[in-house]
Chains A and B, each alone.
Chain A
Amino acid sequence: MLIKVPSVVNLGLETIKVDIEINLANKGLPGFEIVGLAGKAVDESKERVRTAIVSSEVDFPQKKITVNMAPADVPKEGSMYDLPIALGILSSVLDFPIPQKSLFLGELSFDGSLRHTKGAFLMALFAKENGFVNLYVPKDSANEAAAIKGLKVFPVENLEQICNHLLGKIDIYPITYKQGKEEKTSGVEFDMKEVLGQEQAKRAMEIAASGGHNIIMVGSPGSGKTMLARALAGILPPLNEAESLEVTKIYSASGGIPPGGSLITMRQFRAPHHTASLAGLVGGGSKPQPGEISLAHRGVLFLDEFNEFPRTIVEALRQPLEDGHLTISRSKQRITYPADFMLVASANPCPCGYAMHPKKSCNCSQNQIQKYQKRISGPILDRIDLHISVMPVDATEFEGNQEKSEFLEASEKIRQRVIQARQRQEARFAGEQICANSQMKNSHIKKYCKLANDVEEILRQASLKFQLSARSYMKMIKVARTIADLDGADEIAISHMAEALQYKPKNFETA
């Protein structure tokens, strides 16, 4: 007897339909085989399926069972095929039909219940595009799949329940999607108002969050760089609908959505340590997995102690910083993951860290300092829009000033301004492929950032005086555009351009 149960395989973010063909033969010795490029986890599903069926008080058929996964030349990984394989066997034993236009996915527990399984969201997207209607997924994974409208997503608790359902004895009701509450972006540990002083750095953070600009902070230890970056997470605008789908896809593929989770609507804040491996950071492995840069897609990648990162890793960021995606090529497969992130880097000015400190003296030699700073290459610095130096704050600067609220704004208030600025950008770029100022290519700058003569003159003077590169010249325009957006202005004015120049690249040289 031959039964077909449809499921899917996720190759990166791409989804392919897989037919699970189950044959129960009366001839031959009893056994259980899986063929069709099944990985280790798939092969092990034999034991889970056998035990789960027995736990559900059904006799496991003493027949020669062969499972084929077609197409047979695509490698399959993961535990998601437990449910379709078990259903195939049970449908032959209990004699129920496999419903039409349906897809199945789920990992089994020994007691027959279903566990949260990654990839449900990707399967739902695939189902929607390819005309499938019914999805049978574990209860914990049902909500994320239901985020795609127009599908019936059946939350399955255990094998017994789904068998009774397919036999027509009980009903499982399709789940209605519930957007979970994501109170804050991940990584928020500080409110902006907790950061004393650093007004200019905070302003730079506001600009960076508004336009999605990359930013680097240079300063002595203890000057508050990490705190500022953590506080930045709290002023990021929410993801728009399209961005939300993109991010959720990546997290679904990498198993980053928690049980019962829903669409990711907040920008992600990723802060990998500098001992992270190349594959961990940019993605990789023989079966390429998304790295931190992809998990930070549309969000923030915070690299603390930037010049402690190995050079190979930092240089690997160049291409994704420019293109917004990264293709991981392996001999067996090539997978492209989106990686359009906002880079937030922090660095010390010298090995001892005190080169810019007003009180402590630095005892590094010129040579050491140069070597240290050279660890960050020019091409990388050139791709960073905002450069700020963060000086340690003297506690005495604040005596009696604590209550001056205008200098201690709460994150939420700043965030409202950021959201408004982002909305202006989205309205302006409607119909384009981009949605933030930082993503503008030169053609966009020509189209959307016409400079009045006097504004251009300021920029021209500045580029002569401060020896700005051509790329920096363009970046100044982008930053000025964001400042104008924060100001609610349609045209870039002199004041916007002049402020942008505050954040120009500085070769963080010491006297």
Chain B
Amino acid sequence: MAEAVETTDNKYPKVLKESLKNLIASQGPKKLYYKGNWSEEIFENCLAVVGSRHLTYYGRKATEQLVTECAAAGLTIVSGFMYGGDEAAHSATVKCGGKTIAVMPCGIDLIHPGTQKKLYQEILEKGGLIISEYEGVTQPQTFTYVQRDRIVAGLCKAVLVTEAALESGSLITASYAKKYGKKIFALPGPITSELSKGTIKLIKEGAYPVTEAKEILDFYKITPTHKKANKSFITGNTLEDKIIEQLKREPLKADQLARMFAVPVAKLGTSLSLMQLKGFINCENGKYYIN
């Protein structure tokens, strides 16, 4: 059952009050409905992680890597529960046993999008929190997404934008964060990608181009729990080694690899399947990636 916290309550997140204090009082959510574990600590060190709904494979990988380390070090990951970038951030946190807050654009009793029911349950099971300023089963509307973004930005000390197009919700969150005086981290991406244009714009405007989780944790003055050992793949098989070497540079199609190494695609396919089984590489949308 959903419970509610009002602005006058002591429980009302201080950081949110702080963020909004310079703004007109009417802009802050008067009442926050929530499900799950409401505690002081969960709001202590929040990091908002937002990204495009059409997250690329690169964006997903980078999100997983950064979020996993941050969450493991004790940061609470806040995001908007939309599919794509938000979902990647929540999932990665839940997976490593971290705490996450999902700020919903709809009524507290509605799961939106409905396809992520499983993730919703997992967030609650792992001691996370679901928050909304709307009651009951209010349907999400265009403006509620934007309203939601101000809470996401308001709850956190810093915002990490993973991937964003030029006109996107992620940039709206970032602009709220800027207004509230929060630190902004942006993930650098390839200049050829539509989904990097937003993050590159943020970097140009002064956001910190993040390349490893330590940079975020330094900002929070937290030392990382452990350094993840760099995985190295030595297969002892020349073709497999060559493939790994190539895939480390960029993801490629089977056809391209076959042409590159001048081996029949049948033989190459065999190697790719075996490497996939060994967990060295991964395939998505016809392209192969290093794991």
Q: Is the interface of B mostly helix, strand, loop or mixed?
A: helix
Pair A499/B266 contact, Cβ less than 8 Å = yes
Instruction: Report which of B54, B264, B271, B276 forms a contact with A406, defined as CB distance below 8 A.
Output: B264
Contact status of A465 and B54, CB under 8 A, knowing A203-B265, A498-B270: no
List A residues 200-215 near B (Cβ within 8 Å).
200-203
- Residues on B with beta carbons closer than 8 Å to the beta carbon of A416: none
Pair A362/B54 contact, Cβ less than 8 Å = yes
List A residues 61-112 near B (Cβ within 8 Å).
none
List B residues 246-291 near A (Cβ within 8 Å).
253-256, 258-259, 262, 264-267, 269-274, 276-277, 284-287
Contact status of A498 and B274, CB under 8 A, knowing A362-B54, A511-B55: yes
Pair A511/B60 contact, Cβ less than 8 Å = yes
Instruction: Report which of A202, A391, A495 forms a contact with B286, defined as CB distance below 8 A.
Output: A391
Pair A203/B269 contact, Cβ less than 8 Å = yes
Pair B277/A462 contact, Cβ less than 8 Å = yes
Q: Size class of B's contact patch?
A: 35 or more
Total interface residues on A, using CB and 8 Å?
A: 40
> Which residue of chain B has the shortest Cβ distance to A393 in the bound complex?
B255
List A residues 11-63 near B (Cβ within 8 Å).
none
List B residues 7-63 near A (Cβ within 8 Å).
53-57, 60
- Residues on B with beta carbons closer than 8 Å to the beta carbon of A401: 259
Pair A389/B255 contact, Cβ less than 8 Å = no
- Residues on A with beta carbons closer than 8 Å to the beta carbon of B208: none
Pair A200/B113 contact, Cβ less than 8 Å = no
Bound-state Cα–Cα, A393 to B262, Å: 18
Bound-state Cα–Cα, A499 to B268, Å: 8
B155 to chain A, nearest CB (A): 25
Bound-state Cα–Cα, A491 to B258, Å: 26
Bound-state Cα–Cα, A349 to B115, Å: 19
Bound-state Cα–Cα, A510 to B286, Å: 11
Pair B262/A406 contact, Cβ less than 8 Å = yes
Bound-state Cα–Cα, A458 to B259, Å: 27
> Which residue of chain A has the shortest Cβ distance to B278 in the bound complex?
A461
Bound-state Cα–Cα, A72 to B199, Å: 82
Contact status of A200 and B115, CB under 8 A, knowing A356-B285, A365-B53: no
- Residues on A with beta carbons closer than 8 Å to the beta carbon of B254: 199-200, 502
> Which residue of chain B has the shortest Cβ distance to A401 in the bound complex?
B259
Bound-state Cα–Cα, A367 to B116, Å: 12
- Residues on A with beta carbons closer than 8 Å to the beta carbon of B56: 511
> Which residue of chain B has the shortest Cβ distance to A218 in the bound complex?
B286
Pair B273/A391 contact, Cβ less than 8 Å = no
Pair A367/B113 contact, Cβ less than 8 Å = yes
Pair B115/A370 contact, Cβ less than 8 Å = yes
Contact status of A199 and B258, CB under 8 A, knowing A458-B277, A465-B277: yes
The digit string for A346-367, where 1 denotes a CB below 8 A from any CB of B, is: 0001000001101001100111
Q: Does B220 contact A (CB under 8 A)?
A: no
Q: Does A407 contact B (CB under 8 A)?
A: yes
Q: Does B194 contact A (CB under 8 A)?
A: yes
Instruction: Show 27 residue pairs from A and B whose CB-CB distance is below 8 angstroms, ordered by the A residue.
Output: A197-B255, A198-B255, A199-B255, A199-B265, A200-B269, A201-B255, A202-B265, A203-B266, A219-B286, A361-B54, A361-B165, A361-B194, A361-B195, A366-B83, A366-B115, A391-B255, A404-B262, A407-B258, A494-B274, A495-B270, A498-B270, A498-B273, A499-B266, A499-B273, A501-B276, A502-B254, A511-B54
Q: Write the residues of chain A forming the contact surface with B, with a CB cutoff of 8 angstroms.
A: 197-203, 219, 349, 355-356, 358, 361-362, 365-367, 370, 389-391, 393, 397, 401, 404, 406-407, 458, 461-462, 465, 483, 494-495, 498-499, 501-502, 510-511
